[in-house]
Structure 1
């Protein structure tokens, strides 16, 4: 890994496009396999990645959700899905751009959209890898969970953030 904090151009956001499920599945799989090794063992990573890479299941899960895609030079590098205007159902960033602000950009956009649509709070079932990321954004741990993926058990934490509270300077 290089020490360059922002190597590429700034990321842009757009809605997910029809037929984009394969590239989103590939981003999720790469993120799981490339970023979660300190928190999950190889069996857990492989089961989670296989579930995320199931394009048919992913398409069904994203149907009806607001999904934003982060791009660099027009290429998708991350995505976030807002479910029922109250839950961040998924947020994945490709390992090649991890730590460059793409996840923060996606999370901030989802928070703003949910707030504009009247949500009072947002929840997320954060992986152990993402726990610190969401805590830095003002999410508070509520409960630990155990979920099964491909016959393997993984832990995560349900977190909540109250929206509309002052978080910093107003534009």
Structure 2
């Protein structure tokens, strides 16, 4: 099994990352969200240019397996995970863990004392296993549908001085 490689987001990635976003929502969230909720959520990627601008405005990493993008994650500001999505075909191959670990290190390097994420119900267990603690439940309106998520927070260790 290949190890995920990480690289910075490029504007040309927007179409494939939009497709990963939609595929992830459609295939992985059905136990927690209705079809109408999934459609409202996935609609955020319908305008690929706007989706690409959102990714470009944040620190966005792309995970690849054998050179092909299979997931992505973005850091909004210095301390908030805005997006973390993995293609359903790449789930269980360490992609989300690699992305999450990289964002945690980058946030710590930027001086963040903790990292927050508004985790969907299907992602909350993943974040809990990584040391994130649930802080509050939220209800957000997306394209006329109400979706629940949980704000979770993880304390970060200050980066070690010098090379490792």
Fold conserved (TM > 0.5)? yes
Question: Cα RMSD over matched residues?
Answer: 1.4
Query: Which stretch of structure 1 is more off in the superposition, 70-79 or 52-61?
Result: 52-61
Map 1:68-107 onto structure 2 (within 5 A). 68-107=61-100
CA distance in 2 between counterparts of 1:99 and 1:73 reads: 16
**Preserved contact between residue 86 and residue 122 of structure 1 (Cα < 8 Å):** yes
Residue number in structure 2 paired with 1:114: 107
Residue number in structure 2 paired with 1:154: 147
- Secondary structure of the corresponding residue to residue 11 of structure 2: coil
Residue number in structure 1 paired with 2:32: 39
Residues matched between the structures, number = 159
**Preserved contact between residue 115 and residue 156 of structure 2 (Cα < 8 Å):** yes
Q: Determine if the alignment matches structure 1 residue 28 to structure 2 residue 40.
A: no
**Preserved contact between residue 28 and residue 53 of structure 1 (Cα < 8 Å):** no
Q: Which runs of 4+ in 1 moved over 6 A?
A: none
- Secondary structure of the corresponding residue to residue 157 of structure 2: coil
Query: Which stretch of structure 1 is more off in the superposition, 146-155 or 52-61?
Result: 52-61
CA distance in 1 between counterparts of 2:34 and 2:49 reads: 26
Residue number in structure 2 paired with 1:15: 8
Deviation at 1:52, TM superposition (A): 3.2
Question: Structure 1 stretches of 5 or more lacking a match?
Answer: 1-7, 166-170
Residue number in structure 2 paired with 1:3: none
One of 33, 41, 45 as aligned partner of 1:48: 41
Question: Structure 2 stretches of 5 or more lacking a match?
Answer: 159-163
CA distance in 1 between counterparts of 2:46 and 2:151 reads: 23
The alignment's TM-score, normalised by the length of structure 2, stands at 0.92
One of 130, 152, 158 as aligned partner of 2:123: 130
